[in-house]
A = this chain, B = another copy of it.
């Protein structure tokens, strides 16, 4: 089943009815309406509640019938039994897209499973597709739409999209996206995956022009084969980075009562992901760090990283961790070294990779000359410049941007400083497709993801 067009309809609705939205702010539906409004959504919003009181200034309707206008998406925030009734009504009204935040289904054991089965049956009979149940909702930045029960915040437009099997983890991901000055395209809380599975969403992302990188928080699925088969196709076009849990039996059990999926064997999934060319992350911040570089930097020719720094320690950490992850820290060509000597004018420097420019590199102009020489070296595919904030000296931001424009090889920058000290520089670099990190370990995550994706993308071994 290719549900791309149907998913697209849910993700780009022209009108949304929010069922169960009362006038009180403690009410979930009320919060959903508030979120949709706050995110700047330009379509129609119809709150539905028997009491019919206005919701955040919007006229409310007693039921779906009374709206009497075309509805692309129905958002349901009710108990399981009431949810089923609404779905029946959607069927009668010819509404095909539903987001169901309601819990109380498969994640609550046998009784819930029965209700869930009934829900799916009605949906199927009426050609309805669902996101959820038991989901936080969806976000589509291009449509200024945050249809969740937590408001959007400061999310910017970007090209990273996410599938999350947990509202909380997905929300954490979005917070990290904001902390890292990134943007997103789409975010889907998959919940119990009623009529739509990971594979359906991945197919939708594959054809979505605004999605360049896909992040997944994964607990488990009943359809692992479909998942990896589609993922294997998608990752030839767009990188997929998966964060999964489930090493311990406690986690497995908890996942079962969370979104109704046994977290199966971590080991098995982990091996399958490797085999099918998916990238992995071990934490939310690693997931975001990897997506950052994948979403900005061009693909490199190879895995040879040149490291330039004005403070040695972080470059040693970088070299150590990059080698561990399969990067090559190769020496510069003789020509490069002789050019460097002319610029740095001292014998008190080891002209090696990583290159510690020492005091000379504190000058952003000289630092810029150095990185231009190094990225011009045919032995170097990727550049990692490390520069530290100092009150009276500036960052080599224009130099890095010019060097990138000249060679179009990936530059992944590490700017040491507090978030406040580097915020403005980060904006400049990100606009120019140069990812920048404030710790060297995060930069290494970015570079290693790029190298890994570059290797698997066109490699038949992974097909």
Contact = CB atoms under 8 A, between A and B. Distances in A.
Interface residues of A, number: 80
A168 B416 contact: yes
A418 B175 contact: yes
A285 to B, nearest CB: 6
Interface stretch (A90-98, A403-411, A433-441): A433-441
A316 B258 CA distance: 9
A209 interface: no
Interface string A157-174: 000000011111111100
A313 B165 contact: yes
A169 B108 CA distance: 48
A169 B356 CA distance: 14
Interface in A356-391: 356, 358-359, 363, 386, 388-391
A154 interface: yes
A388 B150 contact: yes
Contact of A245 (B26, B317, B386): B317
A419 B418 CA distance: 12
A399 interface: no
A251 interface: yes
Contact of A284 (B315, B421, B441): B441
A283 interface: yes
A247 interface: yes
| Centre residue among A154, A217, A416 by max chain B CB count within 10 A | A416
Given A172-B314, A219-B316, 15 more contacts: A103-B358, A103-B359, A166-B313, A168-B313, A168-B314, A168-B315, A168-B388, A171-B388, A179-B419, A217-B313, A245-B317, A245-B320, A245-B321, A284-B439, A285-B439
Interface of A: 25-26, 28, 31, 34, 103-104, 108, 149-151, 153-154, 164-172, 175-176, 178-179, 217, 219, 245-248, 250-251, 253-255, 257-258, 282-285, 309, 311-317, 319-321, 323-324, 329, 348, 350, 352, 354, 356, 358-359, 363, 386, 388-392, 416-419, 421, 438-441
